[in-house]
Chain A
């Protein structure tokens, strides 16, 4: 059985440790980021989204390919992607408990994401 992969985000005062499969999405709030996980919890960390992406790239197995950066403000876990509407500029995630998260993204980014998913499915 494959060992679960954890994303570790650490500052001098605190540490956030999350399994890759628990990450629903991450969004940017200026110099900070919010990490939304399965179960409804949210972690607020003092790292920019680019820094979080770098940590994911370095810590989590690069073969996973389930986490995708969408534009400048979001990273989304494709495990939970259930809906895309390009002209409404909406994508939806559904966590295992059935809770739905609607996120906005640019039309061009959603077109590319939709094509990419259709290519690999």
Chain B
């Protein structure tokens, strides 16, 4: 992490530090520290007490149905056209664009896609990447076609793409990571936004940016939803819930993150910077046509 990022939201720093401009931060109230200590002691006592009593019934988080959603690929229509159904709406003053792929199967792709192949009817940048030791790395565990690209656990949310199943969840120790490797599937980590129709509030930063998510709607359809407004994760996730999203994991946001969609008439809608200098670790979730119908 760059040492210049060692700053909290409540601090300021004059660039080119000058001692005469140093201002002491507002003093934290003493009772807040006392309260925090008391709470910590109570929690520690509770943990010790539970351990000594042989606590049973702790749910296995890795299999907790609240923490994941399994989307089964519906049987594709071999004669049907592959396209993206596009719906636009406004929820809580947040504009949402919903892209539902029809007769297409998702997978991950790694590396810059300059000329989008016509068989990829929908796609968006998926996992974030960042610079570490002078080279770009994918942030969070990442598996592509069974090959482990990265194994860090920096984000709790995950998406596994396995044969005919897509799993979206919020679990740091999910077994789907290993399963993706074993089954030549794909796996990436991002922030979970919505689980079982509820906004996920932990690990969500307060920064504003253009947001995009991989979603499972209440009617069971898998889709991408994004907004062209700069909003916080919380605002976006709340709008997704009200739109009818049951489960959602973030996809790479910001104005540069690319997303494209081909509608029923074959028109392509592109968002993001298509001439941007992205590193080799840039990755996408794409939907590939599942049939070779003449109508495609």
- Quick check: B15 and A108 within 8 Å, CB to CB? no
- Quick check: A106 and B16 within 8 Å, CB to CB? no
In the bound complex, residues from chain B placing their C-beta under 8 Å from that of A13 are 277
The residue of chain A having its C-beta at the shortest distance from the C-beta of B2 within the complex is A50
- Quick check: A31 and B12 within 8 Å, CB to CB? no
Per the bound structure, the CA–CA distance linking A75 and B8 in Å amounts to 13
A-side interface size class:
35 or more
Q: Given B11, B23, B255, which contacts A119 in the complex, CB threshold below 8 Å?
A: B23
Q: Given B2, B12, B209, B253, which contacts A70 in the complex, CB threshold below 8 Å?
A: B12
A11 with B277: in contact, given A67-B15, A70-B12, A108-B25 (CB under 8 Å)? yes
- Quick check: B277 and A72 within 8 Å, CB to CB? no
B-side interface size class:
20 to 34
Query: A62-93: which have CB < 8 Å to B?
Result: 62-65, 67-73, 75
- Quick check: B209 and A29 within 8 Å, CB to CB? yes
In the bound complex, residues from chain A placing their C-beta under 8 Å from that of B59 are none
- Quick check: B15 and A57 within 8 Å, CB to CB? yes
- Please report whether the interface of chain B is mostly helix, strand, loop or mixed according to DSSP: loop
B281 to chain A, nearest CB (A): 11
Interface string of B26-67 (1 = CB under 8 A from A): 100000000000000000000000000000000000000000
Query: B197-233: which have CB < 8 Å to A?
Result: 207, 209
- Quick check: A72 and B21 within 8 Å, CB to CB? no
A69 to chain B, nearest CB (A): 4
A101 is an interface residue with CB less than 8 A from chain B:
no
- Quick check: B14 and A116 within 8 Å, CB to CB? yes
A46 is an interface residue with CB less than 8 A from chain B:
yes
B268 is an interface residue with CB less than 8 A from chain A:
no
